[in-house]
Chains A and B, each alone.
Chain A
Amino acid sequence: MSSSLTVSTNLNLQAHPVDEVGIRERVARLATRSIKKASKVEGLKLALSMVDLTTLEGADTPGKVRQLCTKAIHLHSGRKDLPMVAAVCVYPTMVRIAREALQGTPIQVAAVATAFPSGMNPLAVKLEDTRYAVAEGAHEIDMVISRGDFLRGDYARVANEIEQVKEACGKAHLKVILETGELGTLDRVRLASDIAMQSGADFIKTSTGKIQPAATPEVVLVMLQAISDFYRKTGKRIGMKPAGGIANAKAALNLLIMVREVLGPAWLTPSLFRIGASKLPNDMLMQLEKERTGVYQGLDYFSND
């Protein structure tokens, strides 16, 4: 394992221009898809199964994480037809707690690492952060790219870091957070996606959730198109994780529509698509209850965690 900087030689920085207005219009058109009745119920359940239920607070405690894990397993009391979420996402020090709480379930434990959320630490520290989380039992690592390096054009350094973190992950899956809210343009979102995928990302992820805007539909669409092109060229399926700012059930269904129409049904699985969220599941649950009972719901009837 090397911790020194080596220049990635295989980086292909071919320009893939993105037209912002065109992206907005495609997003708007995708949003006109009308999801009703059975399709809505099925879609919401599918989306719930893709949630990375997240708590990333300085105030997180074992108690809080255990509660979150309970919610991850039992999304809504009294409903047996609901899936479990795909994963819980926590800081590295909470990984062990989460693993214990989720024992015997298929729910994965994801840890943010690499000096999340800013990434403003030396590479060695980031790698150590990663190795620690993996050693604690994390199945998945959500790393952040060095936006400073990216924005000043040092793409080789960004790529190299990802490669090394990937190596440090061992068997754990790597999600690479681009923090698109700091990248400025959709062209840069596309470039960062390409770099991340070429450097070993299993997933690319929009945001830390600490910066606004986060997972806007425009950003998600651009990243999905990058994934599609990468698959076309390499035959390799990279996963996608929008995280941050996905406000409600409608937004979640819109994400599924996008995945379906840009990447195809093969990506409609938690192994290739995740939604990072903390409050979102309750809105989806309210919609599901509304479909079941025919009555519009209130948040008082759904547990927060």
Chain B
Amino acid sequence: MTETNISTKGSDWGYAPAPESADHFKLKEQYGLFIGGKFVPAGSGRRFATINPANEKTLAQIADAGEKDVDKAVKAARTAYEKVWRKMPGRERGKYLYRIARIIQERARELAVVESMDGGKPIRESRDVDIPLAAAHFFYHAGWADKLGYAFPGKSAGPIGVAGQIIPWNFPLLMVAWKVAPALACGNTVVLKPAETTPLTALLFAEICQEAGLPDGVFNCITGAGSTGAALVKHPGLDKVAFTGSTDVGKAIQKSLAGRSTKLTLELGGKAANIIFEDAAIDQAVEGIINGIFFNQGHVCCAGSRLLVQESVEQEVVEKLKARMEHLIVGDPLDKNTDIGAINSKAQCERIQDYLKVGQDEGAELFQTKCPVPEKGYWVRPSFFTKVAQSHRIVQEEIFGPVLAIQSFRTLDEALEKANNTPYGLSGGVWTDKGAKIFKVTRGIKAGVIWANTFNKFDPSSPFGGYKESGYGREGGRHGLRPYVELS
């Protein structure tokens, strides 16, 4: 300025807390199992607490289902299947799913807040991603219920029977939707086991089924830990098991189903490479890296947990990534400005901390942002490692937290070779402004979902699922119906 009266000092203006209110609904003190259309206590009377990982406070007491409860649930599902659901015209089944979709939309804010309280994810994500997508999944699959004849050319599609479904804690209600919507649309009935750390929205979903008037026993929900899941898988009354979770547990389930005709689909772990070429839109690529690894605290099986960046732009990308990461706000999941919420559980938090140590012990260089974190609760600052080698555990193993491993490459072939050098094959990313290169790389990555110039996008019409040890079967889209039908 010619006159420098105007302040040239930057302002430290920032964001005040903006908490989403949780006073428009009330959680019950305890929740039973949802069997045959009713909430019932566990036969054993046992309960466990579900806590808020952001403040370690108990949210509710949850019934702990044992073998007998599992048996009741499977029998209720069988009865509903034989007597009601399999006989119901697809059009009518579809209308129940539409009702469910609508009620999820109506109770969206409550579901979002509970999801964030029970699981630790930021309200921005539960509000803008999890809950709307859950509703969308029911809406999408509702329409398939009476159109299955068009989904499988040359075949006639019928239901399988009773499906046992076990879901993880990272997208609690969304995983309910991914599992339950196609199963019901195709005429199957369901016994669902949500994760023990995040049972609440599945139980609210049970209420929604009641509100929708869904016939008793079509959807059943049994809560508990791994032993409940194991009891469900072992139950001889299941025609189908669908599991989302870790690769180790997925393998164990496959083994335990040996000798039975029970069908199985698995959606398991991943260690996706996110490949940035020098000709990419770098700022958008950096945002893609952020979405790839810091979405949902990195508790995402398809997370872009390995960054492969072309050496010529490595420094620029890393500098920009650091700058961008410093704006990520870690803290209260219910604050609308929070980018990274609480780690889902103490155990998971310890596991991630352990990997941070392992990475450094292996010789990699750790960067963490300076963001303050609350005292109570489980937190990990956004982190990345540089100077990592392909053989490092932090490159090979799924951390399931906000921790990125950065490697550089020189040529396209080298990028693909590194990207595919893993037993996993769930997802991958590529960033380049050159169309031909996009198709070469998206073809070259051995994984079920490839995001080109974007990352971590989901849609009910878009099939999702893995290659290799990331599991088998697809969820979403026409292909996602296949695991829930018998073709003849």
Which A residues are closer than 8 A to B by beta carbons? 15-19, 21-23, 25-26, 32-40, 42-43, 46, 49, 86, 106, 108, 139-140, 171-173, 225, 232, 256, 260-261, 264-272
Q: A25-B287, A106-B6 are in contact. Are A19 and B281 (CB under 8 A)?
A: yes
Which B residues are closer than 8 A to A by beta carbons? 1-18, 124, 128, 279-284, 287-288, 316, 319, 323-324, 327, 336-337, 433, 453-454
Q: Are B16 and A36 in contact (CB under 8 A)?
A: yes
Q: Quick one: closest A residue to B453, CB to CB?
A: A19
A66→B446 CA distance, assembly (Å): 68
Q: Are B284 and A269 in contact (CB under 8 A)?
A: no
Q: Are A269 and B1 in contact (CB under 8 A)?
A: no
A285→B107 CA distance, assembly (Å): 36
Chain B residues with Cβ below 8 Å from A25 are 287, 454
Q: Are A268 and B282 in contact (CB under 8 A)?
A: no
Chain B residues with Cβ below 8 Å from A272 are 8, 10
Q: Name the contact of A267 in the complex, choosing from B3, B10, B12 (C-beta under 8 A).
A: B10
4 smallest CB-CB distances across A and B, nearest first, come from: A106-B5, A22-B284, A34-B18, A39-B16
Q: Known A-B contacts: A25-B454, A139-B1, A139-B3. Give 9 more (CB < 8 A).
A: A19-B281, A39-B13, A46-B13, A106-B6, A173-B1, A232-B319, A261-B327, A269-B10, A270-B6
- Least CB distance from A69 to B in Å reads 16
- Least CB distance from B447 to A in Å reads 21
Q: Name the contact of A35 in the complex, choosing from B8, B18, B282, B324 (C-beta under 8 A).
A: B18
Chain A residues with Cβ below 8 Å from B282 are 16
Q: Quick one: closest A residue to B324, CB to CB?
A: A261
- Least CB distance from B355 to A in Å reads 27
Chain A residues with Cβ below 8 Å from B283 are 18, 22, 26, 225
Q: Are A271 and B8 in contact (CB under 8 A)?
A: yes
Q: Name the contact of A271 in the complex, choosing from B1, B14, B18, B316 (C-beta under 8 A).
A: B1
Q: Name the contact of A32 in the complex, choosing from B17, B280, B336, B433 (C-beta under 8 A).
A: B336
A26→B7 CA distance, assembly (Å): 29
- Least CB distance from A193 to B in Å reads 13
A225→B6 CA distance, assembly (Å): 24
Q: Are B6 and A32 in contact (CB under 8 A)?
A: no
A141→B319 CA distance, assembly (Å): 34
Q: Are B6 and A43 in contact (CB under 8 A)?
A: no
A196→B6 CA distance, assembly (Å): 24
A86→B4 CA distance, assembly (Å): 11
Q: Are A264 and B10 in contact (CB under 8 A)?
A: yes
Q: Name the contact of A22 in the complex, choosing from B5, B281, B327 (C-beta under 8 A).
A: B281
Q: Are A268 and B13 in contact (CB under 8 A)?
A: yes
Q: Quick one: closest B residue to A173, CB to CB?
A: B1
Q: Quick one: closest A residue to B124, CB to CB?
A: A32
Q: Are A39 and B288 in contact (CB under 8 A)?
A: no
Chain A residues with Cβ below 8 Å from B18 are 34-36
Chain A residues with Cβ below 8 Å from B280 are 17
- Least CB distance from B170 to A in Å reads 20
- Least CB distance from B148 to A in Å reads 33
Chain B residues with Cβ below 8 Å from A171 are 2
A26→B284 CA distance, assembly (Å): 8
Q: A17-B280, A18-B284, A172-B2 are in contact. Are A34 and B13 (CB under 8 A)?
A: no
Q: Name the contact of B454 in the complex, choosing from A22, A36, A264 (C-beta under 8 A).
A: A22
Chain A residues with Cβ below 8 Å from B433 are 15, 17, 19
